[in-house]
Each structure stands twice: as structure tokens, then as C-alpha cells.
Amino acid sequence: MARRGGDVEAFIAFLGGLLAAGATALAMAGVGLAIRPTPALREAALVTLGAVWLTVTVTVYGRLRARTR
């Protein structure tokens, strides 16, 4: 019986996105210790984290779904 739905792939992709965003956040925190971040830089960092999470999640999900077909 073939498995359908893609729930496992979606969960793995979600966790992959969180892992990538977390690693990016740690790198940004390290840079933030070296320089004095401005409010504009903080906002850009939040936008970047959101973009990283979304991009990695969609990419991983697409690759996992393509592999199962």
C-alpha cells in the first residue's frame, strides 16, 4: 500500500527550515556582538530569517516530494 499525503515530508521540511533559520540566527547574533546593530539592521535580520526559513522549507519539501514520486 502506497503512502499518500506528504505529511512526513512537510514535517521534515519544516524542521529543516527551522534548523537553517536557527543557524542563521546564531551567525547573526555573533555578528551583532562584533558590531552595534541599528534598528534598520535588526529589521533586515528578521526579514532575512523569514526568507531563509521559507526558502529552505519550500526547497526541502519540493525535493522530498520529487524523490517519493
Show pLDDT as tens, one digit a residue, over the chain (69 residues): 456 778 899 999 999 999 999 999 999 999 999 999 999 999 999 999 999 999 999 999 999 988 876
Can you give the pLDDT at residue 60? 95
Can you give the pLDDT at residue 25? 96
Can you give the pLDDT at residue 3? 64
Q: How close are the terminal C-alpha atoms of the chain, in Å?
A: 14
* Model pTM above 0.85: no
Name the nearest CA neighbour of 21 among 58, 52, 57.
52
